[in-house]
């Protein structure tokens, strides 16, 4: 702890460090005294247990204090009014940036557990953002998470539990979900029926965009019109990556045959407004893992700018064959943490 009249020269920041194999976080909070103390400021460091407990931090207000109090520029001092009205000019700036937002989740197979961590963080700490999001989009597993976040976000925890159970069952199979005779589609449909509400199609109509690939001409389409819940379920099944790789027939949706949208458009970017992108692969995305010490070489894969790295190659393997329970829990944790970082960066955390 130390005092400095010009402490606001320092931008708000998070400090990460390794601690017993887990990422731990150090939150910074700035406290300002009255005029009698010559605008003396104190910087305090608060250690949070670990990122796997981030959602259970009792005093999450510290993060907002940090973001608000450290918003000064140069050597200027934040005035008393700014402390009484913390939403001031920043609120207008935030509203302007949120004028037309879309949210898109990348195709990723069993790495969808990362998406669930991101969705959980958005539901808990980004509700204002979710209220203004115009459209949700996704491909493959990403379309499933987008649907849950849009139609029944309160079931994210239940969806996470089902995903762990699904992965555990798949790990027991010799070829994973591609094992001959394993009825993946029936299992997946059962999970979808268990999670989605009866009016899911009404909520999703013209707000959810599911990426699929036509078997007729190989072109990508974004499905967004759902006359019934059955239509929505079929669209989600059509976007699944398993039917193609496991040799199953394509899904029939409104008289046409469709397969995995991740083959042609693994990350839908909608034409109007800004599309916030989420991906468990390191690359040019808003929310994703960050890898340092690597050459920044990217490859365009089904509309995704993905970094060429050893870690990403391993992630591709895990997308088809689920990793261990411990690894999946870490992936969930990463998705949660990276989304918190994004919300703080955009001043959207609440």
CB 73 within 8 A of CB 106: no
Q: Measured between alpha carbons, how far is 186 from 182 in angstroms, rounded to an integer?
A: 9
Q: Is 260 a catalytic residue?
A: yes
In the set 65, 120, 260, 309, the catalytic residue is 260
What are the beta bridge partners of residue 220?
213
- Nearest CA to 110 among 166, 155, 36, 159? 166
- Choosing from 65, 104, 120, 140, the catalytic residue is 140
Residue 140 annotated in active site: yes
- What's the CA gap between 75 and 57, in Å, rounded? 32
Which helix (DSSP H) or strand (DSSP E) does residue 204 occupy?
helix 200-204
Provide the 3-class DSSP secondary structure of residue 229: helix
Contact 166, 238 (CB under 8 A): no
Dihedral angle computed from the Cα positions of residues 232, 233, 234 and 238, in that order, rounded to the nearest 10 degrees? 100
The DSSP secondary-structure symbol of 287 reads B
Report DSSP letters for 143-178, one per residue: HHHHHHHHH-GGGHHHHHHHHHHHHHHHHTSTTGGG
Distance CA 129, CA 193 (A): 27
Question: Can you tell me the distance from the alpha carbon of 268 to that of 211, in angstroms, rounded to the nearest whole number?
Answer: 7
Residue that has been written with the tokens 């150090």 in this structure:
26
108 to 111, 196, 240, 280: CA distances (angstroms): 5, 21, 10, 7
β-bridge partners, 296:
none
Which stretch of DSSP H or E encloses residue 35? none
Please, which residues have CB within 8 angstroms of residue 111's CB and are 6 or more apart in sequence?
141, 280, 281, 315, 318, 319, 331
Residues annotated as part of the active site: 140, 260
């Amino acid at each position: 702890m130390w005092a400095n009249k010009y402490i606001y020269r320092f931008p708000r920041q998070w400090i990460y460090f390794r601690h017993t194999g887990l990422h731990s976080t150090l939150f910074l909070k700035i406290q300002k005294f009255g005029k009698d103390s010559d605008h003396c400021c104190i910087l305090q460091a608060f250690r949070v247990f670990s990122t796997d407990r981030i959602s259970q931090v009792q005093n999450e207000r510290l993060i907002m204090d940090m973001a608000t109090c450290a918003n000064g520029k140069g050597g200027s001092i934040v005035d008393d009014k700014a402390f009484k009205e913390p939403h001031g000019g920043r609120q207008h700036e935030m509203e302007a940036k949120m004028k037309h937002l879309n949210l898109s989740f990348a195709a990723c197979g069993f790495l969808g557990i990362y998406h669930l961590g991101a969705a959980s963080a958005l539901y808990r700490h980004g509700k204002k953002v979710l209220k203004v999001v115009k459209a949700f989009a996704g491909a493959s597993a990403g379309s499933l998470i987008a649907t849950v976040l849009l139609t029944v976000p309160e079931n994210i925890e239940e969806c996470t539990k089902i995903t762990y159970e699904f992965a555990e069952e798949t790990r027991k199979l010799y070829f994973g979900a591609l094992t001959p005779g394993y009825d993946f589609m029936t299992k997946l449909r059962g999970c979808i029926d268990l999670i989605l509400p009866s009016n899911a199609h009404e909520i999703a109509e013209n707000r959810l965009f599911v990426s699929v690939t036509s078997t007729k001409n190989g072109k990508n389409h974004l499905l967004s019109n759902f006359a019934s819940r059955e239509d929505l379920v079929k669209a989600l099944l059509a976007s699944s990556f398993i039917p193609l790789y496991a040799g199953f027939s394509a899904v029939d949706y409104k008289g046409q045959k469709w397969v995995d949208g991740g083959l042609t458009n693994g990350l839908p970017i909608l034409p109007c407004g800004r599309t916030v992108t989420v991906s468990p692969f390191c690359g040019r995305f808003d929310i994703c893992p960050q890898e340092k010490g690597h050459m920044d070489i990217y490859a365009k894969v089904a509309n995704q700018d993905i970094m060429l790295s050893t870690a990403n190659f391993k992630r591709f393997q895990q997308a088809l064959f689920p990793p261990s329970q411990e690894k999946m829990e870490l992936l969930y944790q990463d998705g949660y943490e990276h989304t918190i970082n994004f919300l703080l960066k955009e001043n959207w955390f609440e």
